[in-house]
Structure 1
């Protein structure tokens, strides 16, 4: 059979096609063969090419099996009418081509997972009678009773000699896991995340993909990831942390893999701590570069009453560049440790004053408290608009679009990314520092306005992790650019980049514009709305404190409802 030609730009399948899942699987295999062939060995390459050469019914059935959980399947339970051929015929051809093992050995767990209690009870009745246990046991109880009697795997024909149900085992699942990793960049996403979705519901930025932009440049890096995933799986299965620790790969020179290793060590330390192995937890967290690991290390030292050691580590850490949550956690630890080591408590930095006001409003028949507040504040010469996290994030996304979609290693794995895979990783900004600075230079020279509006026009509708298109009309963007000074945008964008995971949220609900105001610093105000019983969250407080320190106009509006008599409602 002639080998399929690989299109340069893959497209998503149409859900109206009953074999759309096969189209999407073919997209994955073509992409990996096209862009990662050098990371596959000869056997793997031949197998994937053989997959593409299968007839459609066999290729579709194999895809269905790959997508399912596990590697063992009852042949009599497979029903896929869209194949266009009988399932037994397709199975026979897959067996002949070595894709399936037609007579796998099953252990007792496999057998009980694949067959029903009604099918198993007659077979094991004599054994149960010999053991002196009732034949009416539940399936779980029967499995437990047979555990010490039947401990050797065997083919289904030996377990159930009278059954006509065959069992097959899918071969090469490890290969398809490797393919899934190279395509997605992780093993968290399942085949169903891609194969069973309509990818065409949104449009994606087309990022140039080259050998230099790949996360994996060598096969051993793929192996390293798979080994780390095996360690993570072992932790989830409850293995002792001390048994997993020797299996963890050592430090790696690939920044993308290094961040994965840091997260693995964070979880390993948690497991060790839960299992009472505190020294191992400390050792593991000390090797992890993950921000949470550092706080956990200090808190554990504190629980172990190793106050001086914790104090010295905390003081050294205080001199580094910290995120808001880290800074807050560290300050609390230092405050607790100081009297225990005979040191003066660190002088807290005074919190900036946050502007607050209250208003009594009639309770609306429908809608939110934010909508009621916006209606109250809105005037023809001072419009109040509900934007929450969409406006500042959106302006940033439009200004820095080329940097966000720059093909740096480990950022993009396939053509269907909403944004870079390393977006919330700690080194996201540092790896693109000079590019972001070039974007911010446009805020200094005044070219940012045209740049943002041109991007809004050129990229309309394309997915971007910072841009929510329905919330960003050109009229809103122009009004924002008229009223928000460039220096304020620069401060906001820098803080956003300092910790994207934390700072993409927490912006005030409303923005109010005053386009006729002569003082450019007073042409807008951001307003956080709080209804009865609602309180500011920590990340909102941090944003408001930042606004106050930077001279960015912002306030909190506390809304109270009035009853029919005009008095405040009693809760």
Structure 2
């Protein structure tokens, strides 16, 4: 579950880029020993920064515990950081050997004495989870040896996980209480990070990075020069968590969300329903409402995703999808109404309202479904594709005798979108599978590549790329770089951000309105290519939200910007600045351009659909918006060529 943003897909390209960098670090580490001193310094820096910025979120004892880390010996600090960054939770003490730790045994004693690690030496009873983790330290031969000692059946070809499961079953059933001793005989002393240290340092990392994805490796990527973050100023005037109770509630909500994800993966429906019940009770009993205002005075609105209520709303939304799949529409309707009542000013209201209208229709309540759709159209928080979906529902459900008055919007959403029809030789025509065709060169390709080939030849000599939202978000990021990383309070809180925290909220445009409009005027007046080149040269390779340096060349970006023209670019960038969340997905598949002479060109955007595909509401909304902005936009429908018999 993505807990600091609604759509995981928005950050997929950034994630993929960073993952490639992580692989580079792994390869780099094979050939060069890590700078453990730097790791240690970064860890201490993280702890100091969190204690400095958020002292109110820790008790005096917790602060003393964290501060005591710096008073440990060099060996102990190095060993702890090593263990903390390794996959555990348990480690065999006999295998812990690091060249930078001079006296490993002494370091273990000091860490244990100060509560940073715990040892498994003479424990006779352990929770089942710990027992499973301890068993995973053993080799297959050691596991078989224990089973033989216990006179349990052991097949020679059994996999390690099956052997562990057999031993766990025996231990849980009470038939082998000596299992901990048998493990200890083979592993000798084992150690793990203590629950107190793990909990406090996990909290410190989350407070430092503000997400669950980044960790100490982010420092390493920067130290090695593999990832470069943008330059910006962190101007912090208010806390994300005003009290420790808020933080603890948020952490509890994250725990419920993680259980929900795991339960859905494992089809544990009983636990799914339990998570839904907990989440509903939490948002119902809380007086907190996530309010995102349309005025710039209230600065904390874009930080709402760090509240427990916001996380619980995500859990409930997952629960609604589950209930709809189970055709429990009454329960889904109840939860959707609860969300709409509790989160009155939320960007997600559009999706919730559409689902509520659809589920009511499933329940045989067309009048109520229509009423929900009509009310939703009056909601200023419902935009883009969700708004268009509601408009189309009103037109379909609101025919006489339910409604005699024609709404004011039919003509706008029923506008004709140009369609181009092409044919290709199909590779497969199976329902449920992505359509594949043979291209002009005889190679297999998708419908988008087939369309690119058509437009490059008989379709008019166009150049172009299949990119969907990618190239547009790259262009937006490069053209609006100075706006994205301008000085705005509270939107930059760590040195490891690729964009401001308010990018997907109304606050982004409102807090920078004069700067944005001034910048858009330059783009409108024809300076886009110059801005693009300057931004590329100054920031090449720097991680930025939406910008993909590897996928798009500067020459392609320059050609696209030149052919699109200033007025269209300015209009598109304005829409993204005003509502990045709504408009950063669903863009047409193809961006095409062609030149007429040296200085004049034109551009076209094309949504490609295969034989069994239909336009989504978001895609239709995008095409109509682009037409309003002055773009040439069309749909290319690919169908199998008729074969002669």
Q: Same fold (TM over 0.5)?
A: yes
Change (3 A) 1:66 1:474: closer
CA contact (8 A) 1:422 1:428 kept: yes
2:541 matched residue in structure 1:
461
Correspondence 1:132-531 to 2 at 5 A: 139-140=164-165, 143-144=168-169, 146-147=171-172, 149=174, 156=180, 165-171=188-194, 172-187=197-212, 189=213, 191=215, 194=218, 200-212=225-237, 215-216=240-241, 219-236=244-261, 237=263, 238=271, 240=274, 241-248=276-283, 250-251=287-288, 254-260=300-306, 261-271=309-319, 274=322, 277-278=331-332, 281-286=335-340, 287-288=342-343, 289=346, 290-291=348-349, 292-321=351-380, 322-334=382-394, 337-338=397-398, 342-344=402-404, 348=410, 349-356=413-420, 358=422, 363-364=440-441, 368-369=449-450, 372-373=453-454, 375-376=456-457, 384-386=463-465, 388=467, 389=469, 391-406=471-486, 408=488, 411-424=491-504, 428-430=508-510, 432-444=512-524, 450-469=530-549, 479-480=559-560, 482-497=562-577, 498-500=579-581, 502-504=583-585, 506-516=587-597, 523-528=601-606
1:106 to partner: Cα distance: 1.6
1:34 matched residue in structure 2:
49
CA distance in 2, matches of 1:47, 1:266: 34
Report the 3-state secondary structure (helix = DSSP H, G, I; strand = E; otherwise coil) of the residue aligned with 1:506: coil
CA contact (8 A) 2:112 2:118 kept: yes
Range with bigger deviation, 492-501 or 171-180: 492-501
1:94 to partner: Cα distance: 1.5
1:543 matched residue in structure 2:
622
Range with bigger deviation, 203-212 or 268-277: 268-277
CA distance in 2, matches of 1:559, 1:310: 35
CA contact (8 A) 1:513 1:524 kept: yes
Change (3 A) 1:284 1:363: same
User: RMSD value over aligned CA atoms?
Assistant: 4.6
Unaligned runs of 5+ in 2: 1-21, 154-161, 264-270, 291-299, 425-437
CA distance in 1, matches of 2:630, 2:118: 70
CA offsets, 1:43-77, max 9 Å, x none?
Answer: 44443343344445433332233234565x14346
1:185 to partner: Cα distance: 0.8
CA distance in 2, matches of 1:421, 1:395: 20
1:18 matched residue in structure 2:
33
CA distance in 1, matches of 2:608, 2:250: 45
Unaligned runs of 5+ in 1: 1-11, 129-136, 563-567
Aligned residues: 537
CA offsets, 1:106-151, max 9 Å, x none?
Answer: 223422431254465477669x9xxxxxxxx965355345536489
